[in-house]
Amino acid sequence: MSDRYDPSTEGARMSFDGRMSYIDYLHLDPVLSAQKPLSQAHDEMLFIIQHQTSELWMRLVIHELTAARDTLLAGQMRPAFKMLARVARIFEQLNNAWDVLRTMTPSEYTMFRDALGESSGFQSQQYRMIEFMLGNRNRAMLKPHEHRPELADALRAELARPSLYDVALRALAAAGFDLPREVLERDPAIAHAENEAVTAAWTKVYRDTDTYWELYELAEKLVDLEDYFRRWRFNHVTTVERIIGFKRGTGGTSGISYLRKMLDVELFPELWHLRTAL
């Protein structure tokens, strides 16, 4: 007589003929068959899964940022707080993923690097969408996506919308803060430039948190998000340097030099710089 546990004795369904199963709901057949290494190198599977899972997490980031922006535009801050907190945690997850990729050595990467051709993370349309949504807007970055008109069109459509930070600044103005027209009526396709009036407004929020608690919480949610985003960029730099050194990227960028330039990009500059004056 077997003493092994049988879940069916407690009501667990064991037969799924004609019923939706876990595999069906998640469409795991196409997901798990999407890993198609082009070489015989053992570590190419790691490289593919690392980037595919990152793209899945980015898909969720876009979902959450879209909803957060919509709720902020509707004047509903508290639901947006939850979404922005989730985005920060997603970037924490993406940060942890670099630790797995760093188990691959330069010798192991060179065994399949040629198979990548000119493909590169630089060409990630979803990453570009996230940057655009957060306010790092640069029309030149549309070019790597022009070969896929539907992807380039989605990015152009995003450039026509206010960024997440633009929406946050509108919330500041709606609360009675006097922000200049060049901030509130700027062409949304142009990246926001640091503005003294914006810094002064956010500084007032931080100095009177009881009065402006929701704006204060919004500001901290944005800072938290950018904090994790910056860590992701930094970990990207160190991982690439550890694996390929100062070689050029497969997509033609300068590699480490390009990635280090990205470390200097500030998404919400006033929220960082006001801290010196507090």
Residue at 109: amino acid letter: Y
Question: Which residues are CB-neighbours of 100 under 8 A, at least 6 positions away?
Answer: 46, 50
Alpha-carbon gap, residue 18 to 244, rounded angstroms: 50
> How much is the pTM?
0.91
> pLDDT value at position 15?
84
> Is residue 149 left, alpha or beta, with left meaning phi > 0 and alpha meaning psi from -120 to 50?
alpha
> pLDDT value at position 250?
60
What angle in degrees, to the nearest 10, is found between the helix axes of 125-134 and 164-174?
Answer: 20
pLDDT beyond 90 at 184: yes
> pLDDT value at position 137?
93
> pLDDT value at position 246?
63
Cβ atoms of 205 and 212 within 8 Å: the answer is yes
Question: pLDDT grade, residue 229 (50/70/90)?
Answer: very high
Residues present in the chain in total = 278
Residue at 5: amino acid letter: Y
Question: pLDDT grade, residue 258 (50/70/90)?
Answer: low
> pLDDT value at position 270?
97
pLDDT beyond 80 at 37: yes
What are the backbone angles phi and psi of residue 36, rounded to the nearest 5°? -130, 80
Alpha-carbon gap, residue 50 to 21, rounded angstroms: 26
Radius of gyration (C-alpha) of the chain in whole angstroms: 23
For the chain, the average pLDDT equals: 92
> pLDDT value at position 203?
98
Share of the chain above pLDDT 90, in %: 77
DSSP state of 116: G
Mean pLDDT (whole number) for 29-38: 97
**The token pair that represents 7 in the structure block:** 């879940």
> pLDDT value at position 156?
97
